[in-house]
Amino acid sequence: MSILFKFTQFVQKTFALWVILFSGLALYSPENFVWLKTYITWMLGIIMFGMGMTMTLGDFKSVLQSPKAVTIGVFAQFIVMPALAYLLCKLFNLPTEIAIGVILVGCCPGGTASNVITYMAKGNTALSVACTSVSTILAPILTPAIFYVLASQWIDINAISMLKSILQVVLFPIVLGLLLGFWAARIFKLPYTDCKAISIEVGMQNSGLGVALAAVHFALSPITAVPSAIFSLWHNISGSALATYWAAKADKTEKSIFRCKKA
């Protein structure tokens, strides 16, 4: 059992390096990794199940009793990233197709990967799950609405059609089944573990949804899906690196507290 524990600790501490390594291999030889897409849902389910086994009802109870953190996380999700995406498009005067893709992924809700990274960072996983759930439920209305407001200057947008797509891609499966966020949480004086959860939640969008929406609504311009694909790679690398740092910092703090108590 100790060997398994040490192995998992090693994988967790070096997770960012593994992400970079396999991302490089996938870019070099994509045909050897295409078959994995069939099992992504299953693998995510197994990971989420493992996280769930470490959590208690008390974790979620504390979140429900103090909805302030969830509210801040969800508001930051739909304000910080869309605004940042819009500013980047204007600042760098991006081409229309790229600008549309950047704003689209910025308007998407958080994804399940944020829950995994929050768990690795020893943040408030229950809060991360709650924020993901609420932002996903609100996405059918807020994502097309915000996207319409920010991107309509570049193209004509059918917000109703996009709403239907999100209902199909996001809500139907539910029925069936980085740093700006951190400081936003700090401003409202949330606990440090909550700040980590919100930071990761805001910084890691549901890039898969961004790719799906780009493929459906901008099929004639495939390049609009590129920002979502690139963002997916980047937020997994940066998120896992940040999680490794925060986890190491948490371990150091826990050891210091233990030594003080022992003394």
How far apart are the C-alpha atoms of 186 and 196, rounded to whole Å?
10
pLDDT at 93: 83
pLDDT at 50: 64
pLDDT at 4: 67
pLDDT at 186: 75
What is the set of domains in the chain, with CATH numbers? 69-234 (1.20.1530.20)
CB atoms within 10 A of CB 67: 12
**Sequence-separated (6 or more) residues with CB below 8 Å from residue 78:** 107, 109, 135, 138, 142, 146
pLDDT at 118: 85
pLDDT at 177: 36
What are the 10-residue block averages of pLDDT along the chain, 263 residues in total? 69 74 80 76 66 62 75 87 85 81 83 81 84 81 85 67 53 51 75 82 73 69 71 76 81 67 60
Handedness of CA 116, 17, 239, 228 (dihedral sign): negative
pLDDT at 169: 45
pLDDT at 170: 45
